[in-house]
Amino acid sequence: MTSIRTLKTDKIQATVKRVTSGRIPTEHGDFQLLYYTNSIDNKEHLAFCLGDVAGEDILTRVHSECFTGDVMGSRRCDCGEQLQRSMALVAAKGQGVIVYLRQEGRGIGLMAKLDAYNLQDQGYDTVDANLMLGHEADEREYSLAACILEDLGVASVQLMTNNPLKISALQASGIKVSSRVSLEAPVNADNKAYLLAKATRMDHMLDMSQNERNIKATTTANVSARGKNESEPAN
């Protein structure tokens, strides 16, 4: 069913139009994918819903697109795991929404994100890499997410995030955040520096001491798994 919603703050006026939707069966259950157009950009922002999401305290994830992590399973970041975990939490509750915003690379796009990755491979962290490329550390914007949530009838959210800036940005767009649900992914050797930079430079609420323990466990498990494979006879 088509519907239109406009949000007006002192900074921005945004309109979203729900154009169509379809059923998407996943390993976590049957979700409904709602497709939106909007007045701000020409991207396809989405809502992935399960159950009736109109009301208070709706379990919600506002996820920023990460092609490398979400689709290709990159271990450089925690995005793919956070997406899967948020779907699992929604499915366990039988109700919730994942707003999928097409703000790849914290808003700088995939091409610049790959350039930023090359700088990170030279030793710069995720914040400095963005700045060296002439971007801000985080160029995301959340008014369309607020518009989409309003269109869905979500009155207040239990927000799955570790990012305090995301909470305040959504609140500034009129979304009532009733609580935060932590969404920590396991640490590995490839995402450790990234997670550390998020905790120390972007104030993300990550328990790095727990992460340190995780990485030791993961590394040990990898080493023993590799040792086992190597000792297996070749076919």
Ligand X SMILES: Nc1nc2c(ncn2[C@@H]2O[C@H](COP(=O)(O)OP(=O)(O)OP(=O)(O)O)[C@@H](O)[C@H]2O)c(=O)[nH]1
Residue 198 touches which of Zn ion, ligand X, none (Cβ within 5-8 Å per kind):
ligand X
- Candidates 83, 85, 123; CA nearest to 100 is 83
Instruction: Give the one residue of 60, 143, 163, 173 binding ligand X; rule: CB under 6 A.
Output: 163
Our answer to whether residue 140 is catalytic in this structure is: yes
Please enumerate, by residue number, every residue annotated as part of a binding site for Zn(2+).
66, 77, 79
Closer of 48 and 194 to Zn ion (Cβ): 194
- Candidates 199, 203, 132; CA nearest to 168 is 203
Closer of 34 and 195 to ligand X (Cβ): 195
Residue 101 touches which of Zn ion, ligand X, none (Cβ within 5-8 Å per kind):
none
Residue 116 touches which of ligand X, Zn ion, none (Cβ within 5-8 Å per kind):
ligand X
By the rule CB under 6 A, 77 interacts with ligand X: yes
**Axis-axis angle for helices 208-231, 192-201 (nearest 10):** 180
Active-site position among 115, 125, 138, 151: 138
- Alpha-carbon distances of 161 from 27, 127, 150, rounded to whole Å: 22, 19, 19
Q: Which stretch binds ligand X (CB under 6 A): 12-20, 26-34, 77-85, 226-234?
A: 77-85
Distance CA 125, CA 174 (A): 32
Our answer to whether residue 75 is catalytic in this structure is: no
Distance CA 37, CA 209 (A): 42
CB of 8 to ligand X, least distance (A): 25
Instruction: Give the one residue of 65, 81, 115, 151 binding ligand X; rule: CB under 6 A.
Output: 65
The pair of three-digit structure tokens given for residue 106, joined into one six-digit string: 């914290």
Question: What is the DSSP pairing of strand 156-160 with strand 58-64?
Answer: parallel
Closer of 53 and 116 to Zn ion (Cβ): 116
Instruction: Give the one residue of 161, 191, 211, 214 binding ligand X; rule: CB under 6 A.
Output: 161
- Alpha-carbon distances of 36 from 101, 139, 180, rounded to whole Å: 10, 21, 26
Neighbours of 17 (CB within 10 A): 16
CB distance 20 to 1 below 8 Å: no
By the rule CB under 5 A, 69 interacts with Zn ion: yes
The residues near 168 (Cβ < 8 Å, ≥ 6 apart) are none
Active-site position among 5, 18, 85, 140: 140
The pair of three-digit structure tokens given for residue 142, joined into one six-digit string: 């959340």
CB of 150 to ligand X, least distance (A): 20
- Of 79-108, which residues contact Zn ion (CB under 5 A)? 79
Distance CA 99, CA 1 (A): 18
The residue ranges that bind ligand X (CB under 6 A) are: 64-66, 77, 79, 82, 103-106, 108, 113, 116, 120, 126, 130, 161-163, 166, 183, 194, 198, 204
**Catalytic annotation, residues:** 138, 140
